Amino acid sequence: MKTHTKHINLERRNNDNFAPNEISILGTNCTIISDLVQQVSQKLSNYKLAYFDASHSKDVQENKLSEYVFHHEGNLQITTSGNVNKFQQRLDFAQFDYVFINGNHYQGAKQILVLDEAKEASVLKRLEQLNRVQFIIKLKKDTEFFDFLVEKYPNIKNKLCYTIDEVDKIADHINNLIQEKIAPVKGLVLVGGKSTRMGTDKAELNYFGKPQKEFAKELLERNNLETFYSVQNLSAIENEIHDKFLNLGPFGGICSAFQKDPNSAWFILATDVPFVNEEVIELLLKHRNPSKAATAIKGKSKEFVEPLITIYEPKAYPILLQYLAQGYSCPRKMLINSDVEVVEIDDDFIRNINTLEEFKVAKKEINE
């Protein structure tokens, strides 16, 4: 008998307990944990990092007014009220590459265990939480593993072990953990636009002896990207993603790709930019910055980036949806107002071909 489900099963982002990528630190006092996070964060300042902790104040009045205090250098201090809710925290931490958690208060999906002789009882209390220990930190070089720890997890002595002062080595290890979860890149060729000014489907125009959509797809595939066509209408073809966000143009195509796979970055390529070649594709991939919401091409004399020659990271998806909720369906507006890696290039490479006259001129240039 077929099981009845009330809701459509959507692909979900691979989150940990509170964030896409997190680690809790436990086994010692909160001050040591906080100090370690600060030191390691200094070494990994090229990433977006966050620290999730509990307040240690005893008597705190409920905030009746939420305060957002901005500093002209870019810092923001938020004072508000709220409860721990994993769904809300996943939204709050969606833009971060890594979230450190004070494991004395909250359970992380992965753990760093600090061996502190003074906190043996604390470790025993949280023994069941140590199911994915990544490495060990000893406060003292000669600190022994607790007997109950070895009994529960016999292989724990085989974990890499550092002393608390080996901050560089600890930071390097965490850097590797961050790198392991960088999203793969897939390709998306946008086809099926209205082509109003052209008067014919731009994706089918022939510049290189084949429809431009095929040429664009091959450009991405030559860089080992699994590539799909973005199409408007429902399709059963395996390499086509039909719009689930209807009547939103390219914005809807990008969101539909993320709905299909929210755990990949998407290299978006339009079909009306025939001068984009393999060199441009390689350049954008080379300068990809997964810590940003996207990596986008911009013409050297242009004011704004090209939203349809852009790598959108998984963290771009919730931002796009937030813009949609405000009534905006322009991917360029989202990019202009987000933290984006910009790669500049000569304007000629990203010329848009929108009319038959422009097509004739472009084809002549390409074939000369």
Q: What is the pLDDT of residues 9-51, one digit of tens each?
A: 899 999 999 999 999 999 999 999 999 999 999 999 999 999 9
Which among 173, 189, 182 has a CA at the least distance from the CA of 309? 189
Cα separation, 365 vs 368, in Å, equals: 5
Tell me: do 39 and 70 sit in the same domain. yes
Tell me: do 123 and 269 sit in the same domain. no
Tell me: do 95 and 209 sit in the same domain. no
Residue 53 lies in a domain: yes
Average pLDDT on 245-253 reads: 92
| pTM of the predicted model as reported, rounded to 2 decimal places | 0.93
Query: 66: domain range?
Result: 22-180
Checking if the pLDDT of 58 tops 80, the result is no
Tell me: do 154 and 273 sit in the same domain. no
Tell me: do 168 and 263 sit in the same domain. no
Q: Are 102 and 126 in contact (CB under 8 A)?
A: no
How does pLDDT run across 142-182, given as a tens digit for each residue?
Answer: 999 999 999 999 999 999 999 999 999 999 999 999 999 99
Q: Are 314 and 262 in contact (CB under 8 A)?
A: yes
Say whether 189 sits in a helix, a strand or coil. Answer: strand
Cα separation, 218 vs 227, in Å, equals: 8
Within 10 A of 210 (CB to CB), how many other CB atoms are there? 12
